Structure 1
Amino acid sequence: MNHSRADGRTTDSPSRGGAAGVPADQATVRRSNLALVLRHVSVYGPCSRSAVAVATGLNKTTVTSLVNELQARGLVKETGPQHAGSVGRPSVALVLDGSGVGALGVEVNVDYIAAFATDLAGRVLADRRIGFDAMGSSPERSLDELARVVERTVADLDRIGIAPAGITVAVPGLIDTTTGTVVVAPNLGWRGVAVAERLSQADIRADIPIAVDNDANLAALAEFTSGVAAGTPDLVYLTGEVGVGGGIISGGRLLGGADGFAGEVGHVMVDPSGESCRCGRVGCWETKVGLAALVRMATPDRAYGIGRQLVRDPEERLAEIEQRRAEGDPRVEAALAEVGRWLGLGAATLVNLFNPRVIVLGGYFARLADRLIPAAQEELVRLSITGAADRCRFIASDLGFGAASRGAAGVVVERALADPTAIAIRHPSHRGA
């Protein structure tokens, strides 16, 4: 029988030490070994049990027991005989399964809510975005809408037999990840908003763990694992939304800082005499390069906060800007030149601080990269430490506005790979001793 834990996960039965009555130290070792085998299969599969034993250093009997348990949890499956060209009986190949286990990432941003779901093997199960005016809505109304999107997506997964292993919510702000609370999100007007607590009251299973994290950090993880700069150990990701956030990968690891607040690059002051920012200060970088700044300069009649407007997805705003650009509107070209210049100025500071090899431009930056990158690169070269800019380049993301929700789902997958015991037993007859 499963029992809910404080963090929302389940164990197979109650015990004082570990899962299934195993003493704590043995449970920890087994959990670690399960993760070791699962990760090997996920990276190197199809592979045989013997190959897993050789690669991990575990004996064959232990590997067989671990594989049986991973099969019971629906995480590994057999694909048939594997012929390696040698004489003798062919071995049975193992591959990552996870077809019945889902990972859900959702994002709430200024003008949309997005959801992205995969199974643990990476098959995309849901990818949707709806226009929503979170900037003009109360936190309560925004959370209600977010809960509806989560409920709908979880219900869709349930209909196809997928059990979510977790939900991660991306929010553009400073996040207390231990409690799932948004400390402050200036562009949403949120302060001290308990996102995880609200979603725990939604119409979804109570044992689905819910986490909350910064949108730029999650997007940076998505870029690092599956984006245009995948595997680059030192990169900076810039969100390119109404607000501008940064996710920093340094030495192959996400840079979080002492409180997890690292990367709030949009609120670095670049112009002491500039525009007021929603954070309460003046001249923040995002007031120069955020989508709201571009819209204000390129299509002033459509600026955020001007009159009563229909809720518009950022893609719609960009389509209008591109249309006016194609029609030769000089305001659009001037706006793009101005944004590109300020983008390079701020990026020069990031290059001097973090020495990345790549600056990945997300959101609307990616959509308009052909015009923004040349101006930004020129300013970067002018202001960076000699040599650093020569070894760093801008590159446009191909993940669009879904990078954060994709990264959020990826975090769920990573946690499942790191702790397979968090996934409930589905086929008890396959479980090993």
Structure 2
Amino acid sequence: MSTAPRSGPLHPASAPGDQLSLRRANLSRTLGHLRAHGPRSRAAIAAGTGLHKATVSSLVDELLARQLVQETGLEYSGTAGRPGRAVALDGAGVGALGVAINVDYIGVHATDLAGRVLVERRIAFDATAGGPDRCVAALTEVILEALRDLERRGAVPVGVTVAVPGLVDVAHGAVVLAPNLDWHDLPLGPRLVAALPAGLRVVVDNDANLAALAEHTYGVAAGTRDLVYLTGEVGVGGGVISDGRLLRGTDGFSGEVGHLPVDPAGRRCGCGRTGCWETKVGLAELVRAVTPDRAYGLESGPLRVPEERVAELHRRLAAGDPVALDAVAEVGRWLGLGGAILVNLVNPRVLVLGGYFATLAEWLIPAARPELDRLAVAGRAAHCRFVASDLGFTAAARGAAGVVVDRVIADPTSVGSPPDTVTRVTAVRVP
């Protein structure tokens, strides 16, 4: 008779921590499925996620208790049997706040979990005057006002993401370098955490990266697995989506396309180098070429947000002003040249033009396209095209709010309270 010990159970009980992690992951899977596919019955959720129906029922009960979903009515499958009650993403009581700061404005965009816009505004602000301390104070006040707006609308703020045009150490919330703002090694995240309500999570990230995420999620190129988003601001940044994921690089500093050296004999850039791409295609360069008396740094009177400057450019172009037409054509040619460099490097399907690029796309793209075809090694075989964003100058703030929403979707247990009794059903895939 063998004295070898008997083997343990085929499926040993998981440790409590493992069970909690598994449940958190399945809550996320369920919530993410509803976001991607819209209202579904519990049976349809089970079929779509591969979870058992009993597990889904327990998960939905918890999401209902946390007020992240709501029941919307009966769903008829077209087959015999009782109809199921449909469940939809809700989260009306969750406030996700995105804030973007740039050379001449601060933008705010806040939504609930389902993406319904709760707060949106843009404030003219000269971020280059008075130094970073003044900027931090202004950002703090804008964020506090937005938080008050969310609370008045019955939404509990669960986080804020701040978009900055520069190199950002996301892990530490530090802005390493923002040339056009003249910021160097600014611990923006920690300073905002100290000034804002306790417990509010603050994330700082690059504006082009956040805008690229917004475009990939719900912009004109939504779902495109390989795209480059180009900010059309005073500075020019790029957010790269590669194979459906944001490309950050080793240190998180990828996408500084505005500082590609394209003209050794060109103008000095805000970064201290000469002939960077943004000195050829940035909004400041176009304004200087068309209205030199009203160029950035020279214009007197009230500060204007970029849309107001672009509106004047648009009027001149529509009227056939030869100076404006020549200037925009020149910017378009340089836009095509830089775009070709990006196509040769990362082979995107789409180059999304944001900011002022999008507003003037009808003049810019005809000048940029021939340069792209001429200079891209693969030529038209690369199948890359320019498209104008429909998110305008709000893309970065939208993407910033989206990061907060994504974090709740990834961990629904971070919001609300679970029901008094949650049935712990181990999730397995349906065979």
TM-score norm. by structure 1 comes to: 0.91
1:416 match: 408
- For 1:207, give the aligned amino acid: G
2:351 match: 359
After TM superposition, the structure 1 = structure 2 runs for residues 1-400 of structure 1, keeping only pairs within 5 Å, are 23-204=16-197, 206-306=198-298, 308-388=300-380, 391-400=383-392
1:110/1:187 contact within 8 Å kept: yes
Unaligned 5+ runs, structure 1: 1-21
Mapped to 1, the partners of 2:125 and 2:159 lie a distance apart of 24
Cα deviation, 1:72-100, whole Å, max 9, x if unaligned, reads 11111112222223333322211111111
Cα deviation, 1:253-285, whole Å, max 9, x if unaligned, reads 111100111110001110111100110111000
Mapped to 1, the partners of 2:107 and 2:384 lie a distance apart of 31
Cα deviation, 1:277-307, whole Å, max 9, x if unaligned, reads 1101110000010001001101100111125
Deviation at 1:53, TM superposition (A): 2.3
Q: Secondary structure at the match of 1:201?
A: helix
Deviation at 1:43, TM superposition (A): 2.2
Cα deviation, 1:218-238, whole Å, max 9, x if unaligned, reads 101111111111111111110
- For 1:341, give the aligned amino acid: R
Mapped to 2, the partners of 1:327 and 1:34 lie a distance apart of 56
- For 1:216, give the aligned amino acid: A
1:352/1:388 contact within 8 Å kept: no
Percent of aligned pairs sharing the same letter: 61
Mapped to 2, the partners of 1:239 and 1:145 lie a distance apart of 23
Unaligned 5+ runs, structure 2: 1-14, 425-431
Cα deviation, 1:104-151, whole Å, max 9, x if unaligned, reads 111000000000011111111111101100022311111111111111
CA distance 1:369–1:161, shift in 2 (3 Å):
same
Q: Secondary structure at the match of 1:360?
A: strand
Cα deviation, 1:310-368, whole Å, max 9, x if unaligned, reads 21111111122223334443221121111111111111100111111110100000111
Deviation at 1:430, TM superposition (A): 7.7
Cα deviation, 1:145-166, whole Å, max 9, x if unaligned, reads 1111111111011011101221
1:224/1:232 contact within 8 Å kept: yes
Deviation at 1:383, TM superposition (A): 1.0
Cα deviation, 1:360-405, whole Å, max 9, x if unaligned, reads 1000001111111011111111111133565111111110000000
Deviation at 1:69, TM superposition (A): 1.2
* Structure number with larger C-alpha Rg: 2
TM-score norm. by structure 2 comes to: 0.91
Deviation at 1:26, TM superposition (A): 1.7
Q: Secondary structure at the match of 2:67?
A: coil
What RMSD in Å do the two structures reach over aligned CA positions?
A: 1.6
- For 1:331, give the aligned amino acid: V
Q: Secondary structure at the match of 1:200?
A: helix
How many residues are treated as equivalent by the alignment? 410
